[in-house]
Amino acid sequence: MSSHNQSSPDLAPILVIEGIDGSGKGTQAKHVQQALTNEGHNCTLLSFPQYEQTFFGKRIGDFLNGSFGSLNELNPFLVSLLYSGDRFESREKILDARKSSQLLILDRYVPSNIAHQSAKYSGEQRSELREWIEHIEYEIFSVPRPSEIILLDTPVQVSQDLIAKKEMRTYTDQAADLQEADVPYLDKVREVYLELARENPMWNIIPVSIGSEIRSIEEIGQDILKIARNLLTESTAAK
C-alpha cells in the first residue's frame, strides 16, 4: 500500500461529510470550516467532484448533465472510474492539504462513489462493486482513507425540497441534475449510505430533520463540530 494511505501524526486527519443530494453537505462543510477557523484552527476544505479543475471532473459534469445517456444506460463499474479518476488527479492536492493543515474537511469522497454507483445493484453485485471501488481508489490510486465520516441522513422528500432551493451549478443549467431528479434512485443511495454507516464505527449518522422539521444549519453544525474537535484533539495528542 502506498505511504499516502498510512496515517501519520505529521499529516492532518480527514473528516468526510457525506449524504444524498440535497442533504446540505456543502453548506455544512463551509460552516464547520469557518467555525474552526474562528477558533484558531487551520482547516482546508476540498469538494468532490472537482468539476472545473480536473479532466475527469469535467466529464462527470457531462455525465450528470445527461450527455452520456440516462443513469440506467451506463455501467456503474465504468461510471465509478470517472469519480475515481477525479480523485486520482487531485491526490497531490489532498496530500498537500494534509501537510499544511490541522484538519482536512472533504465535501464528498470515496464513500459517495460507493453509495451512488452500488445503489444501482443489490446483493452480491452491490458488494462486488463496493470492493472494486475501494480497491481502485485506496489501493491502486492510493488516495488516503478517511479518519471519520459524517452521514447527513436525509429522507428523500426532505432532500427534494432542499434541492429545489439550490443555486445554479457550473456543470448544468437544469434545476436538478440526472441523479438529483431521480427520486427512487436517491432512495436506494440513502439505503446504501445507511448500510455503510451501520457496519463501520468510523461513520457518524447525523439526522438533517426530525419528523418533517428540518434542523437548523447551526444545530447540525454543532453535532459535526463535536466530532471535528475530537479529531483535532486526538491529532494534537499524537504529535
Q: What is the pLDDT of residues 149-191, one digit of tens each?
A: 999 998 887 876 666 665 544 544 554 455 556 788 899 999 9
The pLDDT value recorded for residue 174 is 52
Residues 150 and 16 sit within 8 Å (Cβ to Cβ): yes
The set of cell numbers assigned to 36 is 474552526
pLDDT confidence band for 212 (50 / 70 / 90): confident
Cα separation, 155 vs 235, in Å, equals 34
The pLDDT value recorded for residue 176 is 47
Q: In this structure, are strands 203-207 and 209-210 parallel, antiparallel, or unpaired?
A: unpaired
- Residue 4 resides in a domain: no
The pLDDT value recorded for residue 207 is 97
Q: What is the mean pLDDT of the chain?
A: 89
pLDDT at 221 over 90: yes
- Residue 8 resides in a domain: no
The better pLDDT of the pair 77, 181 is held by: 77
Q: What is the number of domains present in the chain?
A: 1
pLDDT confidence band for 206 (50 / 70 / 90): very high
Q: What is the mean pLDDT of residues 79-92?
A: 97
The pLDDT value recorded for residue 182 is 74
Q: What is the pLDDT of residues 1-55, one digit of tens each?
A: 343 445 677 899 999 999 998 899 999 999 999 999 999 999 999 999 999 999 9
In which order are the strands placed within the sheet that holds 148-153?
A: 43-47, 103-107, 14-18, 148-153, 203-207
Report the CATH number at residue 225.
3.40.50.300
Cα separation, 171 vs 62, in Å, equals 7
The pLDDT value recorded for residue 238 is 81
Residue found under cell 488527479: 89
pLDDT confidence band for 228 (50 / 70 / 90): very high
- Residue 189 resides in a domain: yes
The better pLDDT of the pair 136, 177 is held by: 136
Q: What is the DSSP letter of 73?
A: G
Residue found under cell 436538478: 176
The set of cell numbers assigned to 178 is 440526472
Domain range for 162: 14-238
Burial 133-153 (b: 16+ CB within 10 A, else e): beebbbeebebbbbbbbbbbb
Residue found under cell 477558533: 39
The pLDDT value recorded for residue 1 is 37
The pLDDT value recorded for residue 110 is 99
The better pLDDT of the pair 227, 170 is held by: 227
- Residue 7 resides in a domain: no
For 99, the 3-state DSSP assignment is helix
Q: What is the mean pLDDT of residues 135-139?
A: 98
Of 32, 4, 25, nearest to 97 (Cα)? 4
Burial 1-31 (b: 16+ CB within 10 A, else e): eeebeeeeeebbbbbbbbbbbbbbbebbbbb
Alpha-carbon separation of residue 13 from 60, 73, 104, 188, 213 (angstroms):
27, 38, 6, 30, 33
pLDDT confidence band for 121 (50 / 70 / 90): very high
- Residue 74 resides in a domain: yes
The pLDDT value recorded for residue 4 is 44
Residues 119 and 72 sit within 8 Å (Cβ to Cβ): no
Q: What is the pLDDT of residues 92-116, one digit of tens each?
A: 999 999 999 999 999 999 999 999 9
- Residue 6 resides in a domain: no
- Residue 229 resides in a domain: yes
- Residue 75 resides in a domain: yes
The pLDDT value recorded for residue 178 is 54
What is the radius of gyration, based on Cα positions, of the chain?
17
